[in-house]
A and B are shown apart, each in its own frame.
Chain A
Amino acid sequence: MINNLTVSGSPHIHKPVSVSRIMWTVVFSLIPAGIAGVVIFGLDALWVTLVAVAAAVLTELTFGILTKKKITILDGSAVITGILLAFNLPPQVPLWLPIVGAVFSIAIGKQVFGGLGQNIFNPALVGRVFLMASWPKYMTTFNRPFSFDAVTSATPLAILKEGKVLEHISYLDLFLGKHGGCIGEVCILALLIGAALLLIKGYISWHIPATYIFTTAIFTYIFGGAQIFSGDWLFHILSGGLVLGAFFMATDYVATPLTAKGQLIFGVGCGLLTAVIRIWGGYPEGVSYAILMMNAATPFIDRYTKNRIYGVR
């Protein structure tokens, strides 16, 4: 007679997938953009990133201990938050800035809501807008690429906002990241390599990134130029944090809609808000705010974009 049989409800098999496997894959997919950031801006970019990750993980650990809950630092989610926050910072900020930002991201952006899966906003973006509101000077001082002696340079979007003419930046330079900007947002090529991995793995779907980028492009083409239908839409795609945001932050599972229909609306909303802020808003860049605003709209979108149930018309 066979003893000690396990009895549990069906199903009895499970897909080889776990939260930590997904999260660490996302971390892995962000490495190319990180390497590009270090190549372009020097080792400062690396220190900022490492400090942000360490602060995020330590904050997560502290909350785990204080709340006597499961310690979740190994699931990779805090690491992602640290990396994404750093990727949204200029490369030569003082190192206390990423620490403050990462602590805020994890503590206020994530843990006060109940930890993983409970946050209503993308934690890294919460940290970023907190830093933006508190220390705008540090957040908007950028370095010229490949000049490791801290020569400052405005980002292409900021130059555009001030109404100056962009002369010497080609689309190729924008694509490769040879311009001022945040650590992880500048090299579109590296970001696309990482994004391709996540798409192939099926960990993100095309719905949000495609609609987000497409909507921004259309809208900036129509309204972004001196006359209507003359905007430089390709410039808008390649500059600022659009690609980083569309593939890695607007796709954050927790704060985005569940159904494909909902995700399409979310992406369009992000695209519209980004374009509106860039064209008419006070800031040169609108990706962070656009995503956060759409995060807030997610429960509402979910409510009205349920899938059709079989047999129901």
Chain B
Amino acid sequence: MVRLVENKHSSESKVTQRLPLPLKVYIPLIQHLGKICNPEVKAGDQVSLGQKIASVQAHVAAPIHASISGEVVAIQDWPHPVLGRAKAIVIQGDRRKDEGGFVLRDPQEVNSLTAEDIRKIVLEAGIVGMGGASFPTHIKLSPAKPIDTLIINGAECEPYLTADGRLMVEQTGQIAAGVALIAKCLGVKNIYIGIESNKPEAIKAFFEITGIKVKVLPSDYPQGGEKQLIKNILGKEIPRGKLPFDIGVLVQNVATVYAIYEAVYKNKPLIERIVTVTGSCLENPQNLLVPIGTPIKDLIEFCGPLKDEPAKIIIGGPMMGIAQFTDEVPIIKSSSGLLLMGKSEAKMYDEDPCIRCAACVRGCPVGLMPCQINLASERMLWNLTKEYGASDCIECGICNYVCPSNRRLLQTIKRAKLEVTK
């Protein structure tokens, strides 16, 4: 674990604003871990807000919905923030603000919903893990083993990002209602929310909620990593090769919990999310509520004027986010931040030889020796990388961050992971 310069101050107190309806959205057919969806609409079709436009008959998948109303103009290859390129449904908006189009579910009815009903609603709403992994949520809500502890992840340990922090402050009650729904699904009594100490407002807000134990965590990266969160809250480790449910634990990100709330109480599928738009190039960093599929150039324009020409655009945080090659790329369900870096921040440095300073060894949150895996990987000694535990890497990026020789440790470890699992 390391202490990072957080850079959250420029957006952490900015109340979430709704981005004006975009003219066009590009909704990728794959925004989850699993099978790609098949479009259910074709060019020329009119779609309404929240209409299901793509789905697939598969267990590990999540359907996709129209995030604005308008006309489907194309289904085409388009830049994708995670995959590089993927098929996307392009909707030309009619700029109708039919937010009222969702029929609120009567609270009485919500109370009478069974666990199975809730799972079905979550599946139909296309909810996936919004912290980055994009794993379909309905699967996590039907675990193969009994769950005794639910952990809500409000750590938001990545520098710059404040979307989850804002959500926890602005929608505390709604998140609590979402938590109750998950608890009902799983039959758990033991509920924690883990929040880093750098978010006192959110901590205070959740102290008021009964039934959820607030765990204040040190603001160390990667506090919000699932493995670290479980260890630091419960003092338990997930055995190697196992998943949290193997030890009776389920972790959900706060944004995902809010999406569940909206799906159940408002009949609203996952069609928008909060994105922190930030970075040194921006005069005016913001937390924006953005329809899924909105190209990032719309967000940049809204937050303008630019102080500086962006030299690097990252979707996600600076530690684990993905650098984009174009500003045409859309926001998807897992995009928590949009970070615009200037020229000096985007500068690439040459690699120097490893001097065995062991900064990466001390920093690695899972106890690996990244420098050794790096050297083995560069020599393509895959068995040795396996022996060093390459496959246990959680790809947090600390090793690269601390390396005085600028070595690309993470890249070579990722390569080793691929080779080891072949």
User: Residues of A at under 8 Å CB distance from B?
Assistant: 1-2, 4-15, 17-19, 21-22, 75, 114-118, 253-254, 256, 258-260, 302, 306-313
Contact = CB atoms under 8 A, between A and B. Distances in A.
Given A8-B323, A8-B348, A15-B401, A116 B355 contact: yes
Contacts of B320: 10-11
A10 B322 contact: yes
A254 B355 contact: yes
30 contacts: A2-B297, A5-B312, A5-B313, A7-B325, A8-B312, A8-B348, A10-B322, A10-B323, A10-B397, A10-B400, A10-B410, A11-B318, A11-B319, A11-B397, A11-B410, A13-B4, A13-B345, A13-B401, A14-B406, A19-B355, A19-B404, A22-B404, A116-B352, A117-B356, A254-B356, A258-B356, A259-B358, A310-B366, A310-B367, A312-B389
Contacts, number: 164
A75 B321 CA distance: 32
B235 interface: no
B66 to A, nearest CB: 26
B10 interface: no
A311 B239 CA distance: 4
B45 interface: no
B238 interface: yes
Contacts of A9: 323, 408, 410-411, 414
A311 B227 contact: yes
B173 to A, nearest CB: 35
Nearest to A298: B356
B170 to A, nearest CB: 28
Determine the main DSSP class of B at the interface with A: loop
A260 B358 CA distance: 9
Given A259-B369, A310-B227, A2 B310 contact: yes
Contacts of A115: 353
A12 B318 contact: yes
Nearest to A4: B311
A94 to B, nearest CB: 33
Contacts of B414: 9
B331 interface: no
Q: Which of A10, A253, A313 has the largest number of chain B CB atoms within 10 A?
A: A10
Interface in B353-372: 353-359, 361-362, 364-369, 371-372
A310 B231 contact: yes
Nearest to B392: A309
A177 to B, nearest CB: 30
Contacts of B324: 5, 7
Contacts of A19: 352, 355, 404-405
B400 A311 contact: no
Contact of B358 (A10, A12, A258): A258
A311 B237 contact: yes
Given A10-B395, A311-B237, 8 more contacts: A7-B324, A9-B414, A12-B346, A13-B5, A117-B353, A117-B354, A307-B361, A311-B242
* Top 4 A-B pairs, shortest CB-CB distance: A11-B397, A117-B353, A310-B366, A307-B367
Q: Which of B227, B242, B366 has the largest number of chain A CB atoms within 10 A?
A: B366
B8 to A, nearest CB: 13
Contacts of B368: 307, 309
A120 to B, nearest CB: 11
B391 to A, nearest CB: 10
Nearest to A23: B355
B339 interface: yes
Given A118-B353, A253-B358, A311-B239, A6 B327 contact: no
Contacts of A14: 349, 400-401, 406
A71 to B, nearest CB: 13
A276 B406 CA distance: 41
B341 to A, nearest CB: 7
B159 interface: yes
A161 B312 CA distance: 66
Given A19-B352, A311-B237, A2 B392 contact: no
Nearest to A311: B240
Contacts of B359: 17
Contacts of B75: none
B188 interface: no
B6 to A, nearest CB: 11
Contacts of B239: 311-313
B318 A258 contact: no
B326 interface: yes
A306 B392 CA distance: 14
A12 B404 contact: no
Contacts of A311: 227, 237-242, 366, 392
B405 A309 contact: no
Contacts of A309: 240, 366-368, 389, 392
A310 B238 CA distance: 8
A12 B314 contact: yes
A2 B318 contact: no
Contacts of A260: 362
Nearest to B346: A6
B40 interface: no
Contacts of A13: 4-5, 159, 318-319, 345, 401
Q: Which of B314, B355, B392 has the largest number of chain A CB atoms within 10 A?
A: B355
Nearest to A22: B404
Nearest to A13: B318
Interface in B295-317: 297, 300, 309-314, 316
